[in-house]
């Protein structure tokens, strides 16, 4: 949908943005589910604020559609691009196995370039794989006012960093195979616009992209003006230690990074965004947090913990990852091991 029927003469950055978006939309062939087409919500001209929303792995732009419409109604121009090999009508397609890291980076770069032309102040927000891509954009573009990373998928709990790197590299050389997201539900898993299984070659592409972001964070400071990282302590498989390490690396370069974590007792799913696969209670919890950080408002700092051993949780049930208590450092034997990536 292009705005509200406004047919005006446009030029400059906005016109260039529309050309990029048209190129992205041209990739939505007849094999793509109509609800998964690249979306552009525009007021017909460049506005003060623009938003690029980056969906998760094996999902599609429909995942962020409800949130995107909210910001459009608030006066923002909103772009939600579709990734290559995603969003096909055939949910059991084999094209996803052809996904590579360079495909994902190319789409993210083009989307950010378009977003910068759609608004004077650009915000990029992504979930899971989309959060990895938002991290890449934060590291490489000076025209990003804020990057919001939601549940970045940099690593898995059972697999240490070096092993994950090795597995990703080996996966490209081995024959591809498919794994159900839910072995019991199989093709019956929600949402209907997402894929019920993933290809091992595509999974390798995801983690290859993540390593690129982590290695860049080790070398240089991100170029975005500010970054927000939202994690979920109840993640069933995702290992948040990789994300914490990314935050540490960025902060070592004195980057402006704010963190927020949903508490484990809330038992929120990895996908905090999709309105089709989540009950309303999940969205009532997650959307206000995401809205506030996208808009640029920060949460109040938590009160000092009552004791070094048990930090007090905020009234809203979340805790800040960057909040630290003043206590004696733990011995090396008991210190948590940081993942190596």
Domains of the chain in start order, with CATH, are 13-319 (3.40.50.1820)
Each residue's pLDDT tens digit, 115-145: 999 999 999 999 999 999 999 999 999 999 9
pTM of the model as a whole: 0.85
Rounded Cα distance, 109 and 136, in Å: 9
Q: Which residues of 249-259 are buried (b: 16+ CB within 10 A; e: fewer)?
A: bbbeeebebbb
Look at residue 212 and tell me whether its pLDDT is greater than 70: yes
DSSP class of residue 4 equals T
pLDDT, residue 165, reads 63
Tens digit of each residue's pLDDT (9 = 90 or more) over 97-122: 999 999 999 999 999 999 999 999 99
Q: Give yes or no for a contact between 80 and 56, defined as CB atoms under 8 angstroms apart.
A: no
Mean pLDDT for 289-316 is 64
pLDDT score of 321: 46
As given in the structure block, the two tokens for residue 42 are 């525009």
Q: Can you give the pLDDT at residue 326?
A: 35
Average pLDDT, the chain: 87
Instruction: Tell me the average pLDDT across 215-241.
Output: 96
Q: What is the largest CA-CA distance in the chain?
A: 66
Of 179-183, 214-218, 291-295, the range with the lowest mean pLDDT is 179-183
Percent helix, percent strand, percent coil in the chain, to nearest 5: 40, 15, 45
Nearest 5°: the CA angle 186, 239, 193 is 35
């Amino acid at each position: 949908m292009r705005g509200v029927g406004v047919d005006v003469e446009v030029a400059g950055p906005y016109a260039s943005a529309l050309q990029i978006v048209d190129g992205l939309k041209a990739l939505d062939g007849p094999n793509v589910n109509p609800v998964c087409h690249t979306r552009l919500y525009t007021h017909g001209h460049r506005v003060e604020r623009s938003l690029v929303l980056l969906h998760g792995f094996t999902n599609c732009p429909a995942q962020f559609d409800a949130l995107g419409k909210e910001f459009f109604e608030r006066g923002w121009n909103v772009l939600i691009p579709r990734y290559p090999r995603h969003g096909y009508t055939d949910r059991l397609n084999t094209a996803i196995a052809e996904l590579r890291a360079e495909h994902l980076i190319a789409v993210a770069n083009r989307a950010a370039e378009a977003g910068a032309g759609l608004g004077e102040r650009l915000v990029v927000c992504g979930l899971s794989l989309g959060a990895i891509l938002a991290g890449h954009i934060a590291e490489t573009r000076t025209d990003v006012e804020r990057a919001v990373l939601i549940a970045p998928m940099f690593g898995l709990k059972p697999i240490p960093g070096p092993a994950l790197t090795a597995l990703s590299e080996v996966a490209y050389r081995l024959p591809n195979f498919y794994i159900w997201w839910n072995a019991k539900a199989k093709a019956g898993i929600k949402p209907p616009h997402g894929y019920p299984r993933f290809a091992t070659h595509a999974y390798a592409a995801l983690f290859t992209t993540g390593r690129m972001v982590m290695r860049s964070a080790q070398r240089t400071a991100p170029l975005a003006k500010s970054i927000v990282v939202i994690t979920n302590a109840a993640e069933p498989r995702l290992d948040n230690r990789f994300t914490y390490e990314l935050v540490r690396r960025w902060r070592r370069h004195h980057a402006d990074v704010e963190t927020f974590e949903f508490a484990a007792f809330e038992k929120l799913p990895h996908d905090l965004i999709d309105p089709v696969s989540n009950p309303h209670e999940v969205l009532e919890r997650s959307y206000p947090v995401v809205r506030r950080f996208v808009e640029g408002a920060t949460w109040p700092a938590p009160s000092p913990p009552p004791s070094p051993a048990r930090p007090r949780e905020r009234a809203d049930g979340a805790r800040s990852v960057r909040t630290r208590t003043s206590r004696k450092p733990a011995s090396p034997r008991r210190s948590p091991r940081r993942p190596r990536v």
